[in-house]
Amino acid sequence: MSAPLLSIEGLRVGFRNASGGLVEAVRGIDFSVEPGEAVGVVGESGSGKSLSMLAVMRLLGSPARTTGGRVMFDGRDLLSIDEARMRAIRGRDIAMVFQDPQSSLNPALTIGRQITDVVRAHRRVSGTEARRIAAETLERVGIRDAGKRLDAYPHEFSGGMRQRALIAMAIACRPRLLIADEPTTALDVTVQAQIVDLIAELRRDLGIAVIFISHNLQLVAEIVDRVVVMYGGKVVEDGPVEAIEREPRHPYTGLLQACVPSLTGPVGPLVTIEGSPPRLGRMPQGCPFSPRCPRAESRCETQMPPLVVDFDQRFACWRPL
């Protein structure tokens, strides 16, 4: 078996709180991404999914910081290389797009300028060449008349077009991994589907591996090979998308799947998960999901279940489905 493209090992992210104590939001997660693979990272807000990806990119803002683990990429630990090396990797090898395309683009610069800046940060090319690449990339993400649209400002674009432009910035240097942090959450439902399709298409045509972060399991399932489910700063389940959909083992995954009403399936009662995710610093001693879990027993509250491997699926539960 060839080496994975990215391998996250025991990653921990914490905050220093007002009284000086350390509060961990990501509590030791492991998973890896193969070259060209699409992985969905799913969980509610506060599950630590976005924080862990920011940690991979070394973009955590104070007061959050990485407190442990390794992130292996190309045989190097991204957490221990110097900032100049890391900067060369960002945008060229790994790129990340964010949730809100409205605020993620610089309002004072043209779309073209923002894409060419990325190109010229990583490649020694002339201005005209960078502009040609920018136009080509913009065309690639489905913006018509790209040559002219280069001179447009973000506010002249619709929400969906802005997200396409952001994706163009991300893929302008043909990275090997694209991390998309809830790229469709801020968009209209119809536009969401287009963006999801675009990411799937880029992955297929350009062979870019994708980590797709979302709170919506069904949305992610359409385009990924594998799903990693996070809860309370831990990976609670991880496996091929078909297995997760057909036979979720962790009760949380099961409930996540039942949450969104299916348009094609039989009409049943709308399921919601009772309660709310655990608060930082108030993590239960045992399984983080135990306070909300319909199957919880006394052991679940006191002992953290280990991640067990069952064929190609992994889950952390004392009483799996």
Partner 1 sequence: MLRLVAGRIVSSLGTLLFVGFALFALTRAGPGSPARIVLGADATAAQLAQFEQANGLDRAFLTQYGAWLSDILRGDFGRSFVTGRDVGTEIVNSLPVTLSIVLFAFAIALVFGVGIGIAAALRPGGVFDRGARLLSVLGLSVPAFWLGIVLIRFIAVDLRWLPPGGYAPLSAGLSAHLQTILMPSVSLAVYYIAVLARMTQASLQETLRGDYVRTARAMGLSSPRVVAYALINALPPVVNLAALSFGYMFGWALIIEQVFNVPGLSRALLNAISQRDFLLLQGIVFLFTVIFVLANLTADIVNRVLDPRQRVAA
Pick the closer one to partner 1 by CB: 97 or 293.
Answer: 97
- Output the six-digit token pair for 233: 């700063």
Q: Which residues contact 186 (CB under 8 A, 6 or more apart)?
A: 99, 100, 101, 102, 159
Cα end-to-end span (Å), the chain:
31
CB of 108 to partner 1, least distance (A): 5
CB of 113 to partner 1, least distance (A): 10
CB of 15 to partner 1, least distance (A): 17
**6 in Cβ contact with 33 (< 8 Å):** yes
Q: For residue 294, give the DSSP letter.
A: T
Instruction: Fill in the amino acid letter for 229.
Output: V
CB of 183 to partner 1, least distance (A): 12
In three-state secondary structure terms, 15 is: strand
**For binding to partner 1 (CB under 8 A), which residues are involved?**
57, 59, 61, 87-92, 95-98, 100, 103-109, 117-118, 121-122, 153, 155-156, 166, 169-170
CB of 105 to partner 1, least distance (A): 6
Pairing status of strand 177-181 against strand 76-77: unpaired
Pick the closer one to partner 1 by CB: 104 or 257.
Answer: 104
Pick the closer one to partner 1 by CB: 121 or 191.
Answer: 121
**36 in Cβ contact with 208 (< 8 Å):** yes
CB of 142 to partner 1, least distance (A): 20
Q: Which residues contact 43 (CB under 8 A, 6 or more apart)?
A: 49, 215, 229, 230, 231
Pick the closer one to partner 1 by CB: 119 or 236.
Answer: 119
Pick the closer one to partner 1 by CB: 82 or 274.
Answer: 82
How many CB atoms are closer than 10 A to CB 273?
Answer: 17
The CA distance from 216 to 44, in Å, is: 9
Pick the closer one to partner 1 by CB: 160 or 286.
Answer: 160
Pick the closer one to partner 1 by CB: 107 or 265.
Answer: 107
Q: Which residues contact 18 (CB under 8 A, 6 or more apart)?
A: none
CB of 126 to partner 1, least distance (A): 18
- CA atoms lying within 13 Å on the CB side of residue 220: 31
How many CB atoms are closer than 10 A to CB 127?
Answer: 10
